[in-house]
Amino acid sequence: MKGILYVISGPSGVGKTSIIEGTLKRVRNLVFSVSYTTRKKRPNEIEGKDYFFVDESTFKSMIERDEFLEWAVVHGNYYGTPKKFVEENLQKGFNVLLDIDVQGAMTVMKKVKDAVYIFIAPPSFDELKQRLIKRGTENEIDLQRRLEDAKKELSYIPKFQYIIVNVNLNESIDQLCSIIVAEQLKVERFIERLGEYRIFEEGGKADARCGA
């Protein structure tokens, strides 16, 4: 049986990375797809864990070889999701989590109809601004650009299926875990997996669960 693709999106600075890290520790059978980017590595980031950091010519040749499920230029940098990694893991039955910008999510939405689209929103604009300032990785121009982009991005909320308002990290992790588990229990997905569960015969199996 094929895995489920979960697409997490939302403005810069909203806390996506922390929510995803907490969720990956708790949910079984879930892998994270590491994106490629031409953005400079931040001091706390790890190559191959947070991103694959590549130069622009490498990125462009990957575009030419059609190696991205989606790619976009965000705040002047390229970001892309490796197609092969996502497809292979879904085929193997793993659920796959993507952390991508809103443009990227719109692209994936056109290509992958049965994915689950989750928007992470800030409690308020002011809160988002404070978080970006606190992160201290942005200069004033970048900060203004990210805030302007965030306004546009919030207008895409109605295109998503779920929204998590990130007020409290632990609650947001709980909420993301709940969405991930609940989607595995959808009857429409279950019907595809009926043979595996064998409810009408003997046996049976249920593996959708949030670890404590």
Residue closer to its own copies, measured from CB, 15 or 80: 15
Q: Binding string, 160-179, against its own copies, x = CB under 8 A? A: xxxxxxxxx--xx-xx-xxx
Binding of residue 24 to its own copies (CB under 8 A): no
Binding of residue 186 to its own copies (CB under 8 A): yes
Alpha carbon distances (Å) from 97 to 30, 149, 167 = 7, 23, 21
- Token readout for 122 is 């800030």
Q: How many residues bind its own copies (CB under 8 A)?
A: 49
Q: What are phi and psi of 10, to 5 degrees?
A: 150, 170
Alpha carbon distances (Å) from 182 to 22, 36, 88, 109, 178 = 18, 30, 23, 20, 6
Give the range of 31-39, 56-64, 79-87, 191-199 binding its own copies by CB under 8 A. 191-199
User: Distance between CA 129 and CA 17 in Å, rounded?
Assistant: 17
Residue closer to its own copies, measured from CB, 66 or 207: 207
95 bridge partner residues: 30
Please say whether the dihedral angle defined by the alpha carbons of residues 168, 25, 36 and 155, taken in this order, is positive or negative: negative
Residue closer to its own copies, measured from CB, 75 or 125: 125
Residue closer to its own copies, measured from CB, 123 or 195: 123
Least CB distance to its own copies at residue 166 (A): 8
Binding of residue 124 to its own copies (CB under 8 A): yes
Least CB distance to its own copies at residue 33 (A): 22
Binding of residue 75 to its own copies (CB under 8 A): no
Q: What are phi and psi of 27, to 5 degrees?
A: -100, 130
Binding of residue 201 to its own copies (CB under 8 A): yes
83, 77, 68: which is closest to 38 by C-alpha?
A: 77
- AA letter at 207: D
User: Given the rule CB under 8 A, which residues bind its own copies?
Assistant: 119, 121-127, 154, 157-158, 160-168, 171-172, 174-175, 177-179, 181-183, 185-187, 190-191, 197-206, 208-210, 212
